[in-house]
Amino acid sequence: MLRFLIGRLLAVVPVLFVVSCVVFLILRLAPGDPAAVIAGNSATNAEIEQIRQSLGLDRSLPVQYGIWLGKAVQGDLGYSYFLNKPVSELIAQRLEPTASLALGTLALAVLLAVPLGTLAAWRMGGWVDRLLSLISVAGFSVPVFVTGYVLIYLFAIRVDWLPVQGYESWSGPGGLLAWAKHLILPWLALAIIYVALIARITRASVSEALTEDFIRTARAKGLSESLVLMRHALRNAAVPIVTVIGIGVALLIGGVVVTETVFAIPGLGSLTVDVVLNRDFPVIQGLVLFFAISYVVINLLVDLSYLFLDPRIRY
Amino acid sequence: MIRRSFVTSLAALGLLGASLTATPSLAADAKVFRFVPHANLSVLDPIWTTAYVTRNHGYMVYDTLFSEDAKGNIQPQMVDTYTVSPDKKTWTFKLRAGLEFHDGKPVTSADVVASLKRWASRDAMGGVLNTFIDKYATPDANTFQILLKEPSGIVVDALGKASSNVPFIMPERIANTPGTEQIKEAIGSGPFIFKADEFKPGVKAVYLKNPKYKSRTEPSSALAGARQVNFDRVEWVIIRDPQTQFNALKAGEVDMVEQPAFEQYYTLKKTPGVKVIDFSPAGLQFIMRFNHLHAPFDNPKVRQAAMLAMGQQAYIATQVGVPELGRMCRSIYPCGTPYADENTGDFTGKPNVAKAKALLAEAGYKGQPIVLMRPTDLASISKIPLVAKQQLEAVGFKVDFQQMDWASLVARRAKKDLPTAGGWNIFLTAWTAGDISSPLTMAMLNAKGDKGWFGWQNEPRIEKLKADFARADGLAAKKKIASEIQAIAFETSTHAPLGQYQSPSAIRDNVDGVLQTPGIPVMWHITKK
């Protein structure tokens, strides 16, 4: 297993190199010039060129990439062209809201979806199964901004229980209560989609497990249905469920732009949109690297979790 | 049993709701003002960028030597008194006593001179003023002099320039930063102190009342006069989504939304607890710019044909959509500003299809496609190119409609290549009145050819008249020259004015005292009950 772990970690290096190369090239070759954005509406060509020089954008692409790579391997992802702050600081500032949103959403989704999916598989065609179908259709077909606005209208405007927008850090003056208050609606809005996804996978996996011989054996031994479901069916169906949860985490870290916009949560999604629209190259490169590392680490953790969930798997 | 547990659950839910709402929001505090700016504040250097949101941040933190009042007159602000020598070449300014930067150091004449030099290195009007300046002098810590090579009528106008770039006064050690580099500290002597440790770009910017600010005693009038601050703390809250801005205002989480979407105008007017105000009476103007370098718009007749095809009403109706917020204005200087002049020759602001077609035929236009660029991500102007396309096609132009994001557009408009090789023929944008109310600040009148503004018009007559304007003394003389410049602008079709419009703000109904300014939302003078 140690060899597997080391091998996987070493494989990260070429992945990151290729990702950084491709992103660097795409950004430089795509239309758009950060110097023109910075210079503003009344600038002249001379002023734009002056800014390009001050940003080092007048140098050749290999030189620019070499400078960036040299610093990146030392952990220095450079400075934002616009915000005049280190890229790593900007990412760190935005990580907590996104992580809070993503992990809370998944925790809520797992808490609801796994029991729901298991029950649906256990009593196929029953009311829980039909409810799950309804949730799945709604979760997959109603856009998150619609759910978000409806929740805001009901709980923030009509009854004034929760804030409309914003994010409060759990370490801020309001503490955990303020943190949770600001996240309940975004969690709910996003969780519906993941409840649908995870519950459908759980239902399929558990229903398949329930047809296995060992389930018949367990029932023949006289085990209660709850034990059969929890100890035998669900455990044997866990691998695909954990895989989809892992994918969910990765998707949520990089893909919650709409939710962050609707609830004005200052996370990585809104930062990505801002810097892409402004062509803030160092921040875009830093973010893409961060997302790539996140995906690799999450995949690795998911793979490792298989060892504990299914003793037949060996690396 | 079931009913009892249901009732218990409801009660628990109610308690949860009550506990969640128990924490008082900051907006409830009358000493905190929460403001949603029109854009994300990312850059903090108002000299390095012309972004309006950074300019507005500048007015929070920095003070100015002179300021514009509600009648458009320039009044002393940091300056106490000033004199002009009989030959009009030596201007001597005395600073008010007791002015102090947020780091506790006094404002001195050396700070002023360093700030003006940095500003003039970036700003168009500052650049014009620079051509007149022989040198600066600082006879004492409270006095500075501007010694001119020849008399100029724009000294006070330039020092009191209201919009980007504004000659804000910074400490000398910061102002010594080259204009091409961003400053690293936001320290001024203005009415608010910037809380750098609480600044989170894309999230919020926090300002505290400057207890040592020396306000003038005259009544507040636009940017001039007293700058009385009535809040301990002002927070700029970044909310991008217009619907979320509306929801936050309605729920009382914020006190003012600078630029709500036009689509929400009527809803806002009907919403209890919310008022719609307009702090910028002169508003904004849409314009269309031609690339004078390449065919067919290197031919003045083709440019004139395109101008005659334009009907302002359609632009207002499509982009703004609220009739009471738009107005027809043929002048290149916004109507309601001192140099506005409705004497615009054949250009009436209404489409003249027959004449436009005739001009096109006369010019020998062969139907080559013209590249018209549209920024799809800039909601404030994304619809106007659609109108331009329709109106140009109506008179016989063949339009190659290129849609892209704003960052791509601003990069492409800087390219002088042929339109078929990555260049362009036409783009459209909008300007606040403050930026285009003088020939010296209007980018479209930068007619220095290759060194001029995008479109690169080469028109020495405009440049000569602008120099005359800078020398002219008195409003009447300047107005005459401004009108002569406008006549040439229409004759040569520098650009087409496409209508003027207001962009009102929304505030809570317990907020009062928002000052009318040339487009700058200032946080002093405002009160909250």
Beta strands B90-95; B74-76: pairing state = unpaired
Residue B49's pLDDT band (boundaries 50, 70, 90)? confident
Mean pLDDT of chain A: 90
For the segment B52-76, the average pLDDT, to the nearest whole number, is: 95
- Please give the average per-residue pLDDT across B288-300, as a whole number: 97
How far is the alpha carbon of A106 from chain B, nearest alpha carbon, in Å? Answer: 22
Q: What is the pLDDT of residues B178-204, one digit of tens each?
A: 988 889 999 999 999 999 999 988 889
Q: What does the pLDDT look like over B427-442, one tens digit per residue?
A: 999 999 989 999 999 9
Q: Compute the nearest-CA separation of A223 from chain B (Å).
A: 30
Residues 158 to 177 of A: which have CB under 8 A from any B CB?
159-167, 174, 177
Top-confidence residue, B10 or B240: B240
Which DSSP letter does residue B211 get? T
Closest Cβ–Cβ partner in B21, B122, B238 for A161: B21
What's the whole-number average pLDDT of chain B?
A: 92
pLDDT digits (tens, 9 = 90+) for A125-138: 899 899 888 888 88
Which candidate from B49, B180, B253 shows the least CB-CB separation from A40? Answer: B49
pLDDT, residue B15, reads 41
Q: Which residues 6+ apart lie within 8 Å of B519 measured at CB?
A: B52, B162, B163, B280, B282, B283, B284, B432, B433, B434
Per DSSP, the three-state class of B221 is strand
Rounded-to-integer distance, Cα B154 and Cα B161, Å: 10
A90 chain-B contacts, CB cut-off 8 A: 201
CA–CA gap between residue B51 and residue B353 (Å, rounded): 37
Q: Is the pLDDT of residue A295 over 90?
A: no
- Percent pLDDT > 70 in chain B is 95
- Indicate whether B10 pLDDT > 80: no
CA B395 from centre of chain? 33
Which tokens hold the place of B449? 């050819």
Q: Encode pLDDT of B442-455 as tens digits.
A: 999 999 999 999 99
Is the pLDDT at A309 greater than 90, yes or no? no
Q: Judge whether residue A101 has pLDDT over 60.
A: yes
Contacts of A93 in chain B (CB under 8 A): 200, 203
Q: Write phi, then psi, for B528 (nearest 5 degrees).
A: -135, 125
Q: Which residue from A51, A83, A178 is facing B201, i.e. has the nearest CB?
A: A83
**Residue A216 confidence (pLDDT) above 50:** yes
pLDDT in tens, B201-252: 888 999 999 999 999 999 999 999 999 999 999 999 999 999 999 999 999 9
Residue B472, pLDDT score: 93
d(C-alpha B200, C-alpha A4), whole Å: 41
Tens digits of residue pLDDT in B486-523: 999 999 999 999 999 999 999 999 999 999 999 999 99
**What is the reported pLDDT for B124?**
87
pLDDT at B509: 96
- Å between A291 CA and nearest CA of chain B: 20
**Which pLDDT band, with edges at 50, 70 and 90, does B13 fall under?**
very low
| Of A31, A33, A162, Cβ closest to residue B20 | A162
- Beta partners for residue B63, in sequence order: B169
Report chain B's terminal Cα–Cα distance, integer Å: 49
Q: How confident is the model at residue A299 (pLDDT cuts 50, 70, 90)?
A: confident
Assign B386 to helix, strand or coil: helix
Given a cut of 60, is residue A159 above it in pLDDT?
yes
DSSP state of B145: E
d(CA B523, CA B59): 9
Separation in Å, CA B489 to CA B165, B297, B344, B351, B460: 24, 15, 9, 19, 12
Interface with chain B: mutation pick from A26, A49, A84, highest number of B CBs within 10 Å:
A84
- Please say if the pLDDT value at position B11 is more than 80: no
pLDDT at B7: 41
> What was the pLDDT predicted at B26?
45
| Chain A closest-CA separation from residue B216 CA (Å) | 32
Contact B410 A82 (CB under 8 A): no
What is the Cα gyration radius of chain A? 24
Distance from CA of A269 to the nearest CA of B (A): 11
Angle between helices A175-209 and A127-141 (to 10 degrees): 120
What confidence score (pLDDT) does residue B2 get? Answer: 38
Residues of chain A contacting B23 with CB distance shorter than 8 Å: 174, 177-178, 181
Give pLDDT, residue A313. Answer: 75
If contacts are CB pairs under 8 Å, which of residues 62-101 in chain A contact chain B?
82-85, 90, 93-94
The arithmetic mean of pLDDT across residues A114-120, rounded, is: 93
Residue A256 pLDDT grade (very low, low, confident, very high; cuts 50, 70, 90): confident
Mean pLDDT, residues B273-298 taken together: 95
CB contact under 8 A, B411 and A32: yes
Q: How far is B253 from chain A (nearest CA, A)?
A: 8
Q: Which long-range contacts (CB under 8 A, 24 or more apart) does A128-136 make?
A: A129/A203, A132/A199, A132/A200, A132/A203, A135/A192, A135/A195, A135/A196, A135/A199, A136/A196, A136/A199, A136/A200
Rounded to an integer, what distance in angstroms lies between the CA atom of residue B375 and that of residue A307? Answer: 52
Q: How far is B494 from chain A (nearest CA, A)?
A: 15
Residue A77 CA: distances (Å) to CA of A61, A273, B133: 17, 19, 43
Whether the per-residue pLDDT at B374 is higher than 90: the answer is yes
A-B contacts at Cβ under 8 angstroms: 149
Q: Give, in degrees to the nearest 5, the angle at Cα B293 between B292 and B294.
A: 100
Q: pLDDT-derived band of residue A249, with 50, 70 and 90 as boundaries?
A: confident
Closest-CA residue in chain B for A259?
A: B241
Q: Cα–Cα distance between B265 and B276 in angstroms, integer? A: 8
The pLDDT value recorded for residue B55 is 95
Q: Which of B185, B410, B440, B458 to mutate to test the interface with A (most CBs of A within 10 A)?
A: B410
Compute, in degrees rounded to 10, the torsion defined by CA atoms B343, B349, B350, B355.
70
Evaluate if residue B16 carries a pLDDT over 50.
no
Q: Give yes or no for residue B25 having a pLDDT over 70.
A: no
Least confident residue range of A110-114, A139-143, B119-123, B150-154:
A139-143
**Lookup: tokens for B185:** 């500290």
DSSP class of A86: B
pLDDT for A253 equals 78
**How far apart are alpha carbons A251 and A263 in whole angstroms?**
18
| CB neighbour class for B406 (10 Å; exposed up to 12, middle 13-18, buried from 19) | buried
The two structure tokens encoding residue A4 = 């597997």
**Among B24-33, B106-115, B246-255, B273-282, which is the least confidently predicted range?**
B24-33
Q: Which residue in chain B is spatially nearest to A168 when comparing CA positions?
A: B203
